[in-house]
Amino acid sequence: MTVKNEKSDDGKRDVGDAGKEATAANNSINDDLWGSDMYPERRGAKSNYGWFKWLIGAAGRESIDKAKCEDNVYRCIKDSPIVKLMVGALKSSGCEIDIRRHISCEVCAPSVTGGYDSQLNQVVICQNMAHSTNIVRGVLLHEMIHMFDYCRNKLDLKNIDHLACTEIRAANIGHCSFISSMLQGDSSFINIKATHQNCVKRKAKMSIMAVHNVSEEIAEAAIERVFTKCYNDLEPVGRRIRRNSDDMPRAYAEAHLYGYDS
Ligand SMILES: [Zn+2]
User: Is residue 248 situated within a structural domain?
Assistant: yes
Ligand 1 centre from 255 Cα, in Å?
A: 23
Q: What distance in angstroms lies between residue 41's CA and the mean position of ligand 1's atoms?
A: 19
Q: Domain for residue 141, yes or no?
A: yes
Q: How is residue 106 annotated by DSSP?
A: E
Residue 6 covered by a domain: no
Tell me whether residue 203 is in a domain: yes
Closest CA to 28 of 156, 214, 154, 158: 158
Does residue 190 fall inside a structural domain? yes
pLDDT value for 2:
78
Please report, as a single letter, which amino acid is at residue 44.
G
Average pLDDT, the chain: 77
What is the average per-residue pLDDT within 230-244?
Answer: 76
How much is the pLDDT for 180? 44
Contact 179, 160 (CB under 8 A): no
Domain hosting residue 133, numbered range: 13-253
Residue 206 is assigned to a structural domain of this protein: yes
pLDDT value for 245? 65
Tally of CA atoms within 13 A in the half-sphere of 147 that contains its CB:
30
CA of residue 52 to ligand 1 center, whole Å: 33
CA 165 to ligand 1 center in whole angstroms: 10
**Could you tell me the distance, in angstroms and rounded to a whole number, from the CA of residue 231 to the centre of ligand 1?**
14
Amino acid 242 reads R
Q: How close is the Cα of 190 to the center of ligand 1, in Å?
A: 27
Return d(Cα 1, Cα 179) in angstroms, integer. 15
Is 204 a member of any domain?
Answer: yes
Is a pLDDT exceeding 50 seen at residue 21?
no
What are the residue numbers of the active site?
A: 143
Query: Could you tell me the distance, in angstroms and rounded to a whole number, from the CA of residue 169 to the centre of ligand 1?
Result: 9
209 against 246, higher pLDDT: 209
| More confident call, 28 vs 191 | 191
The total number of structural domains that make up the chain: 1
Q: What is the pLDDT of residue 213?
A: 78
The pLDDT tens digits of the residues spanning 87-119 come to 999 999 999 999 999 999 999 988 889 999 988
Task: Tell me the pairing of strands 122-126 and 103-106.
Answer: parallel
The answer as to whether 92 is a domain residue is: yes
Q: What is the pTM of this model?
A: 0.78
pLDDT at 192: 65
Contacts of 115 by beta carbon, 8 Å cutoff, 6+ apart:
1, 2, 34, 35, 38, 39, 108, 123, 124, 126, 143, 211
